[in-house]
Structures are given as structure tokens and as C-alpha cells.
Amino acid sequence: MTTTLKSYVCGQWFTGTGKMAQLHNPTTEEVVAETSTEGINFQEALAHARDKGGAALRAMTFAQRGELLMAMSKAIHEYREELLDLAALNGGNTRGDGKFDIDGATGTLAFYAKLGEKLGDRKTLNDGDEIRLSKNPRWVGRHVYKPLHGVAILINAFNFPAWGFAEKAATAILAGMPIVNKPATSTSLVAARISEILVESGVVPEGVFTSICGSAGDMLEHVQWQDVVAFTGSSDTGLKIRSMKSILENNVRVNVEADSLNAAVLGADVDSDDDVYDLFLREVTRDITQKAGQKCTATRRIFVPQDAVESVVEDLKGQLEAMKSGAPTVKGVKTGPLATAQQLQDAQAGLARLAECTETVLGGSRGELEGIDNDKGYFLSPTLLVAKDGEAPELHDREVFGPVATIIPYDGSVEHAARLLEKGRGSLVSSIYSDKAAFLLGMADSASAFLGRMHLANSKIAEHSAGPGTVLPQLMHGGPGRAGGGQELGGLSGLRFYMQRTALQGFSPLLEKLN
């Protein structure tokens, strides 16, 4: 039976009219749900969020907003098993992949809830200490952050319908801004159910939470100067949003997290019997196969010293071949299908572009699948390529968003590795594997400008590493250039996108009373 998904606007559930968009099960290609937003008055929806939700949140202290986030986290966690089933049904997620998304969401909400508790019964976020402005010690200045009086429009990608929502929602709500969540339509079954859970729980004040399930229609044409847009998706769509007349005329803040050719760099000092080598194999394998490679933090380029390429190819092939592909509900399967037919088509087109400058040493097709006895499903087996020429522009130009990575030989030096990293024109995260401090620090010094996050891995942290693919709420998520130029999370810094920094100058005892 096909489910009809609803949006939640102006405090009411809304079922769209007209032609419905279809959601598929990527394992069987069957239609599992449909949705439409035709008939929604987006101007009224945004106004309701600003007026009702904004006022409610600004009246709360940070501690009270933190309590709201914790209640949201607990409400979602209560339905964890149901959400995992939906993640498999509509996203092709294995149980492990589903947990990565759902638990990432509840964990992020809980992290920011605790930050709210620490900030306490205040409504103002101070930025630094008082600054004396004259010889009179009572004439001072101070920078403060206060929430914008608009609405935060959260536009999320198809691959993380739970976590993608939570990392934006947690920072926006703690900052004091109401949210409009717009998940990618193709995999919105999980996001739609989360919307139902949050509304039915009664924990969210009216107007704080709006859910748009389906097309965004003309929503962004109605943004105002105090609104913000946080977007995750392709760089092409990010550019379209940034270029919209309504965005430009109103100077609306836009945060973009987009394409990223992340890299793993193996140091020349690493031998195959080193702990750091095992860590390299383990983390690269996981980041190729987890979520079927459909992660913005997945490893796409693997830089290996020239004389180690042959052995790394064999070892990585062995690791990847052990990662069974197939129906995500079958025990032991580690790699499910891609999320949509379009995703599979795009991945295949990407492989075709790389064919002239690489050799395929593993995968490239559906492969042998567990639990599948027909030709249905959007499957692409883990695929490992080796570059014929590490300087080929195509290697560093377009991301193949699937379980695909390319080994690229380099000469083992910091200078060569950093130059190859730079060719990606901006990445969210890259990893450096070495037990040589000079190499790790040299890469940090030479390549940090090209990355949002750098994972410096040696044998000392091998047992504790969460890997580069895990986005931690304590650290910034975002990257320069091609990666969008945006920033999310990062503890308290994640709140600032949703707040106005204002310089106050005046009588010191007066400013001290501001809470």
C-alpha cells in the first residue's frame, strides 16, 4: 500500500493536490509513498513560523531551548526501530547505515541540549570580554549575539534525512530561530515520520517546527532579510539558491555544504604491518562502503606512495570484497543500493568519465548480490580504480557519489600530496595516515587551507578514532571552495549563523545586566 505523505504548515497537517511525486524502494524499485506540496501558501507558512515560532523561542532562555532539544531527541529515539525500518525501505540503508543516520540525529540534538544547559538562564551569547574604550574604565564595549527575527529554512540532501535535519535544527533552535525543514523528496519517508513524531509528542511550541514534504515550490521567493537558508546538496543547486533575486535583494544569509572530493593520504613511512596501516585500510573501506558511498564525507581519492600502490591495491581489494552487497535487510550485507535510479545513473556516468584516466581493479557493476534474485534495484558494487596519471583533471573535478574511490600514486612528499589535495578545489575532510610527526604537521601546515577538517591519524589514536566520515557536533562541518564555503556545527560556533553579532558600547554596570 502506498503512503501519502503530508506537510506540517501553520500548525496543521496539509495534503497536497495535483500530480504526486513518487518515492521508491531502491532495492525493489517499487513505489512506497507519494507526496505533493501543491496548494501550500508558502508566504503564510513562513510568516507563521516567524511570528509564532520566533516569538516563542526568543522568550526562552538557552537552558529552556536545550530542554526542548532534549525532548526532541528522546521523542525520536523512542521510535528508533521503526525509523530504521523506514530507512531500509526508502533509503536502501543497511541496519548499520540506518543507525549512523538516526543515532547521529538524536546524538546531535542531545549534544546541543547539553550546551543549552551549560549556557543557562541567559538569552544573550557574549563574544569575548568587555573592551575598554577610554581612560574611564566604565566606558566599555562588548560584542553580543542575539537571534535573528526570521525563519531558518533547512534544505537537506537525500542521504541523511534524519542527521542532516538534526545538525541544522539543533543549532538553529538553540540560537532562537524557528525552522522549516525541507528534506529531499526522494527519501523523505524517514523525515516525514520524524515530523509526525515531533508533532504528536507535543514537545515543540507552535510555529517552531514546519515540515515541507515535497517540492519547495516558490518558498524561497518569499524570504525576508532576517531569514536564513541552510542548504546541503549539489554545488549547482547551491549556486541557484545563492543567485535567486529574493536572496540577493534581501541579503539573505545562505550556508552551503556541497560536493567534496575528500582524500586519504598514506604516508611513505607506513609499513603494511603497522597499526596505522590497518587503521588506513579499515577507515578507507568503511568510507567507501558506508551508506553505499553516499556520504558527503566519503573518501573519493586515495593518495598512495608510488612504490606501495601494488600492495595497497591488493589489500584494499581484499577488504572491499569482504563487504557483502545486496538487500539491506539481509544479515551480513554491508552495502545496499544507491538511493534512486537517478543516483545510479549519475554514478555510472561518473565512472564513464573516469574510464580514460583510470583502470578498474574492482567492481564497476552490480556485482554479486545477497538476497537479490532478479535485476531490480539501484545497485553498484564497491568500486576501486587506479589512476593512470595522477595529474589528470578528471580525477579532481567531479565527485562520483557512490561506493567509488580512486588510488592516485604520489611521490611520498608533503609538497606533492598537498598539491594533489589542492586540485580538488575544496573538500569537507581529508585524512593523513602516518607515524611521522613531521609529515602529519607538514600536511596540516600545507593543506589546511583546502579543507574544512583534517583527520591526522597515527598509531596512537588507532583504537580511538571515529574516522573522518563521522561528523562530530563538537567540530566544524563544512569546507571551502567546491565544498560550499559554509560552516555547520562546531559547538557554539554553529549558533552564530542564526544570530546577529552586535557591538554594544556604554556604561559597564549597565552592559553587565544584559542576559
The pairing of beta strand 12-14 with beta strand 7-9: antiparallel
Catalytic site residue 257? yes
Q: What is the mean pLDDT of residues 405-422?
A: 98
Dump pLDDT digits (tens) for 122-171: 999 999 999 999 999 999 999 999 999 999 999 999 999 999 999 999 99
Give the domains, in start order, of the chain with CATH numbers. 43-258+487-512 (3.40.605.10), 262-473 (3.40.309.10)
Residue 482 has pLDDT above 80, yes or no: yes
Percent of the chain clearing pLDDT 70 (strictly above): 100
Of residues 257, 283, 399, 488, which has the active-site annotation? 257
Res. 2 pLDDT band, cuts 50 70 90: confident
The residue among 80, 86, 143, 134 whose CA lies nearest residue 107 is: 80
Provide the residue type at 196 as one letter.
Answer: E
Torsion of CA 62, 64, 65, 70, to 10 degrees: 120
Average pLDDT along the chain: 96
* Residue 268: per-residue pLDDT: 97
Q: What is the mean pLDDT of residues 184-197?
A: 97
The single residue of 283, 296, 399, 488 carrying the catalytic annotation is 296
Please report which helix (H) or strand (E) contains residue 68, including its range: helix 62-78
Task: Answer yes or no: are the C-beta atoms of 92 and 27 closer than 8 Å.
Answer: yes
Cα within 13 Å of Cα(33), Cβ side: 25
- Residues 506 and 232: their CA atoms lie apart, in Å, by 41
**pLDDT-above-90 percentage for the chain:** 97
Helix/strand number for the chain, H first, E second: 15, 24
User: Which pLDDT belongs to residue 124?
Assistant: 96
1 has a pLDDT exceeding 80? no
Closest among 118, 168, 224, 243 to 498, alpha carbons compared = 168
225 — pLDDT class (breaks 50, 70, 90): very high
- Residue 296 annotated as catalytic: yes
pLDDT digits 0-9 by tens, 82-131: 999 999 999 999 999 999 999 999 999 999 999 999 999 999 999 999 99
The DSSP annotation for 161-200 comes to: TTHHHHHHHHHHHHHT--EEEE--GGGTHHHHHHHHHHHH
Q: Find cell 504528536 and name the residue.
A: 200
Residue 210 bridge partners (DSSP): 180
CA distance 220 to 241: 8
Closest CA to 166 of 119, 229, 91, 112: 112
